[in-house]
Structure 1
Amino acid sequence: MLKWIGRLLLIGLLAAVGFLIFDWTRSVDIPEMKIPGKLAGTYVSVAEEKQVPWPHLAAMDEVENGYEQVTPDTIRRRADRLKKEAGRSAVNERSAEQAVKGMFSEKEAERINGLAESYAWAAAPMGENYAFPFRPEDRDRISYGDTWGASRSYGGDRTHEGTDMMAPKGTPIRSVSSGRVVSKGWNRLGGWRVTILDTDHPQVSFYYAHMEKYAEGLEEGKEVDKGEVIGYVGDSGYGPEGTTGQFDPHLHLGIYVRESLFSPSREAINPYPFLKVWEKDQDSS
């Protein structure tokens, strides 16, 4: 009997290791983040209320109607329809995938489920309790819009890979996640900048640029907590080390995602929908 128990434990251990290897090495497409900022918070809150995965709610609207004429009410109705098709009071990703197959044509279902999987990987922090990068007491001094893809010319024609958050120089900047500082120092475009690898989702890293200075003790390899001050708003960058004053003070926030945990390359995704969700969460806390 003990011999069979030992074999079963070994099989279970090997299966667990195999699952981890699959999860770490799987490759997921990084989607273009098309979710409108004004709807992002609704998808997350409705998903929590109805106990369904928000990536499937967003993916269905993106594929079926391109977010046209979508309202909080239509999102709630879509969530109810998904639950009814799944036949469950709480719908997980697997049952949502099966329900979608019963709700749409084969081609549409494949697109929806593929997009939902991509969002669940690349945009996982959007649906979780992350911090807004500025303290509540500083909110009235912060302004930002969807600057993703805007034209930039310094260093050659390029598009903007982040969200610019305008703020007075010296305003404290908080880490949106718990994580590890993986790079810190001067960048010709970003000035004094820091990159933090997310602890909960290590495929995701957050890039903070144009700082005036860093928080005391912030060094590469340091572990930081969600909400911890990591630096202060500045106007550094667009030139050799120490260049300032080339633009108005602001925080440039970037989000970069790897296709797999072992992929060396990273792709930028639009931070704006994330910020609108985290801002809403801060308002309600």
Structure 2
Amino acid sequence: MLRRIFQLLLLLGLIGAIGVAVYWVYDMNQGTEVPEMMVPGELATVYAEVESEMKVPWPYLAAQHEILNEYKGVDRQQILALAEEMRDAVGKEELSDDDAEQAVRALLSESEAGEVIALAQSYRWAASPLTEDYRFPFDAEQNVDYGDTWGDSRTYGGDRVHEGTDMFAAKGTPIRSVSDGEVVSKGWNELGGWRLRIQDEAHPQISYYYAHLERYAEGIEDGVKVKKGQIIGYVGDSGYGPEGTTGQFAPHLHFTVYVRESRWSPMREAINPYAFLQVWEVGLGEEQK
């Protein structure tokens, strides 16, 4: 009797292992290539506004401008005109992603349409939070200075390029979570100092990295769930040395967006967060009027 129970347990364990393996292979095959985030920050806010006004998905607007002319000469009027053209192409006032794909195929050659749709789908996977209900990491009244520092040169730890946006603020300024999520990494990193990585609850393939903190907010630990807008830490100047090193640079938050090609992929890639921050900052201003 015990032998049969043991054999049954082994069989169930084997079936479970096979199921996990099959799901992992399926998940990897469903993955989407993580795009380089090339949407200009000043246009990102316009794409967000046009999506809201015209009900045309922003990834299909941006992808056309990126593929066809690399955003050269693109302005609000061109974005509005393209949105109207896409609505006319399918005869609808409000477009779903499927409608937008149909419009792209109607307006472009087969090869161009294929490139645009693939890029739009990548942006949908990697950058959906751009126009969703996310939050700027600082309060509106706080004095925060930031620009597009993606790709800038850095030398500490060897020559490398900067993968993130540096947001300068007074030491001790509260930092808020941009999303609902879970703390998946906390502690010291030689480059990032006291840092956090929070996995997005709505889009688990995406996580947000907050570095150079002075200290963590009370209750912030690995595995803890956080809410959008919750204070998670405070601006500092930690990093660039052994644990506890401070004062190697001006106080600031280093903020990065990481994306996985599939939900269970072991690898993640950094993408430029500047466009996200531009859109979320505008939304914060509207929210606090």
Structure 2 length-normalised TM: 0.89
Question: Mind listing any 5+ residue stretches in structure 2 that lack a counterpart?
Answer: 1-24
Number of the residue aligned with 1:228: 230
Q: Secondary structure of 1:100's partner?
A: helix
Number of the residue aligned with 2:61: 57
In 2, Cα distance between equivalents of 1:22 and 1:114: 19
| 1:191-230 Cα distance to aligned partner (Å, 9 max, x none) | 0000000000000000000000000111000000000000
**Aligned match for 1:194, one of 196, 200, 205:** 196
Answer yes or no: is 1:105 the counterpart of 2:122: no
- 1:25–1:261: 8 Å Cα contact kept in structure 2? no
Deviation, 1:36, is: 0.4
Number of the residue aligned with 2:82: 78
Runs of 4 or more above 3 Å deviation: 21-25
Question: Mind listing any 5+ residue stretches in structure 1 that lack a counterpart?
Answer: 1-20
Amino acid at match of 2:49: S
Structure 1 residues 93, 182: CA separation in 2 closer, same or farther (over 3 Å shift)? Answer: same
Identity %: 57
**Where in structure 2 are the equivalents of 1:14-33 lying within 5 Å?**
26-33=30-37
Number of the residue aligned with 1:218: 220
Structure 1 residues 115, 162: CA separation in 2 closer, same or farther (over 3 Å shift)? Answer: same
**Aligned match for 1:257, one of 253, 256, 259:** 259
Q: Secondary structure of 1:134's partner?
A: coil
In 1, Cα distance between equivalents of 2:182 and 2:222: 8
Number of the residue aligned with 1:121: 125
Deviation, 1:137, is: 2.2
Deviation, 1:24, is: 8.1
- 1:28–1:121: 8 Å Cα contact kept in structure 2? yes
Number of the residue aligned with 1:18: none
Q: Secondary structure of 1:136's partner?
A: coil
Answer yes or no: is 1:93 the counterpart of 2:97: yes
In 1, Cα distance between equivalents of 2:28 and 2:41: 30
- 1:25–1:262: 8 Å Cα contact kept in structure 2? no
Q: Secondary structure of 1:123's partner?
A: helix
Deviation, 1:245, is: 0.3
Q: Secondary structure of 2:133's partner?
A: coil
In 2, Cα distance between equivalents of 1:84 and 1:217: 52
Please say which of residues 97-106 and 219-228 is displaced more in the overlay: 97-106
In 2, Cα distance between equivalents of 1:23 and 1:55: 23
Answer yes or no: is 1:173 the counterpart of 2:149: no
Number of the residue aligned with 1:47: 51
Please say which of residues 97-106 and 205-214 is displaced more in the overlay: 97-106
Amino acid at match of 2:98: R
- 2:190–2:240: 8 Å Cα contact kept in structure 1? yes
- 2:258–2:269: 8 Å Cα contact kept in structure 1? yes
Amino acid at match of 1:74: Q
Answer yes or no: is 1:151 the counterpart of 2:166: no
Number of the residue aligned with 1:208: 210
- 2:171–2:214: 8 Å Cα contact kept in structure 1? yes
In 2, Cα distance between equivalents of 1:276 and 1:33: 13
- 2:28–2:265: 8 Å Cα contact kept in structure 1? no
In 2, Cα distance between equivalents of 1:91 and 1:131: 25
Deviation, 1:65, is: 1.2
**What is the aligned length?**
265
| 1:221-273 Cα distance to aligned partner (Å, 9 max, x none) | 00000000000000000000000000000000010000000100000000000
